[in-house]
């Protein structure tokens, strides 16, 4: 039984598999910026939605929407400029000027 359990949960024990699963970003996933993009009025931590995946996830087309529901930025970003959001994540409150 120990061997059966070990084989059934191998993917969860393998760090490479876990990292690959956590970094798997697909269309309509919410992502957060990992850096500031002042040319687009975006700051690190801003949350957007992936609307297109380029290649095998090398880059993403990400849409950022304001509170009024209108798109204020649609940006192509490399994988290292975004991170996936996980269930239970609460974005920081906006900083009002």
Q: What is the DSSP string of the chain?
A: -HHHHHHHTHHHH-HHHHHHHHT---TT-EEEESS-BGGGTB-TT-EEEEEEEETTTTEEEEEEE-TTS-EEEEEEEEGGGEEE--TT--PPPP---
pLDDT at residue 96, as a whole number: 64
Name all domains of the chain by residue range, CATH numbers in brackets. Answer: 25-84 (2.30.30.30)
Please indicate, yes or no, whether the overall pTM of this predicted structure exceeds 0.85.
no
Give dist(CA 81, CA 60) in Å, integer.
10
Per-residue pLDDT tens listing for the chain (97 residues):
444 444 444 444 444 443 454 468 999 999 999 999 999 999 999 999 999 999 999 999 999 999 999 999 999 999 999 999 876 666 666 666 5
Measured over the CA atoms of residue 21, residue 93, residue 67 and residue 65, the dihedral's sign is negative
């Amino acid at each position: 039984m120990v061997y059966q359990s070990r084989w059934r949960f191998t993917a969860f024990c393998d760090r490479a598999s876990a990292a690959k699963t956590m970094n798997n970003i697909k269309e309509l996933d919410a992502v957060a910026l990992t850096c500031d993009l002042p040319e687009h009025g975006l700051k690190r931590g801003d949350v957007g939605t992936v609307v297109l995946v380029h290649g095998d996830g090398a880059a993403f087309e990400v849409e950022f929407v304001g509170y009024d529901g209108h798109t204020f930025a649609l940006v192509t970003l490399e994988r290292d400029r975004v991170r996936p959001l996980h269930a239970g994540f609460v974005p920081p409150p906006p900083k009002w000027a």
